[in-house]
Amino acid sequence: MKTTQLKMNKVSNLFAMVVMVAMTFVAFPSHSYGQLDCGTNCQVGGSFGGNNDGYPVLSLPSGVGANTIAVGYLALNSNTTGIDNTATGASALEYNTTGPHNTADGEVALVYNTTGGDNTAMGAGALFYNTTGSGNSAIGYGTLVNVTTGSGNTAIGNSACQSVTTAKNVICVGQSVAGANVSNTTYVAGIYNTRIPGKGNPLVCIDKAGQLGTKGCAKSGTPSAEQETINQEHRELIDSQARQIAELQQRLSQLESLIAKK
């Protein structure tokens, strides 16, 4: 009987404790419980639907654009009306003001962006110097780091597309593929001077839409008619240059004979 009574008392005490905790949260909904105070080492805040609710440690400044989330010291620190931005990492999107739809994940990613929109930077220092460029996608440490106003560029791989600054629609794939500041160009690692095993491999061609393929341009390693025409032009050019060199050598020999007779 005593054992049963003790169990009932424990249950009653536990229930009372749960009720007290619940009443505390109801009475003080704006207080934070069990949260880490990061001080100056991190900044965490959120803005949902235009209301800066301040979850969970430090709220973003009032007036911040809707659907904006910042995690990290000085992340989105200057944002005013830029909407739908997500910054994760110290100083990520720090100077963004009105640029919308940006995602920065990594320390100082998109740090100098101000009005550029629709950018994605995944990696520390990605799109570091970008200010007004839009529609850029950078994945990897230091990718597209030197872009300032260029738009529509895509870089995958650490330090990829470092030579691009103002160009548009440049694609770089592969670690340290620097590319060039020339619009509408593509640079891919691991292709140049790489031999494919086996024989009779088809050639690869590309159409004006940028699609790669093997049909319609080669069959069993034999060039297509269009490619064969190009090859023939190259062969004729080489043959012409060879004839010119042979003629020069013949004239040189004749000149040497005349000199020897004198």
Among 165, 194, 223, identify where a domain stops.
194
Q: Is the pLDDT of residue 107 over 80?
A: yes
Residues 51 and 118 in one domain: yes
Q: How far apart are CA 53 and CA 175, in angstroms?
A: 41
Q: What is the pLDDT of residue 199?
A: 81
Q: What is the pLDDT of residue 49?
A: 38
pLDDT at residue 5, rounded to an integer: 56
| 161 and 74 both lie in a single domain | yes
The total of other beta-carbon atoms located within 10 Å of residue 146's CB is 18
d(CA 4, CA 235) in angstroms, rounded, equals 102
Same domain membership, residue 221 and residue 156: no
**In the predicted structure, residue 57 carries a pLDDT above the cut 80:** no
Better pLDDT: 120 or 30? 120
pLDDT digits (tens, 9 = 90+) for 159-185: 999 999 999 999 999 999 999 999 999
Q: Which of 141, 159, 194 is the last residue of a domain?
A: 194
Residues 190, 204: one domain?
no
Q: Is the pLDDT of residue 21 over 80?
A: no
Specify if 205 maps to a domain: yes
**Residues 147, 67: one domain?**
yes
Say yes or no: 179 and 203 in one domain. no
> Both 186 and 212 in a single domain?
no
With cut-offs at 50, 70 and 90, classify the pLDDT of residue 37.
Answer: very low
Cut 0.85: pTM above it: no
Looking at the fold, whether 186 and 222 belong to one and the same domain comes out as no
Look-up of token digits 């020897």: 260
Quick check: 151 pLDDT over 80?
A: yes
- What per-residue confidence (pLDDT) applies to 13? 58
Per the structure, the complete domain to which residue 50 belongs is given by 35-194
When divided into structural domains, the chain yields a total of 2
3-state percent helix, strand, coil for the chain, nearest multiple of 5: 25, 15, 60
End-of-domain residue from the set 143, 160, 194: 194
Same domain, 79 and 152: yes
pLDDT at 105: 97
- CA dist 86 and 120 (Å) reads 10
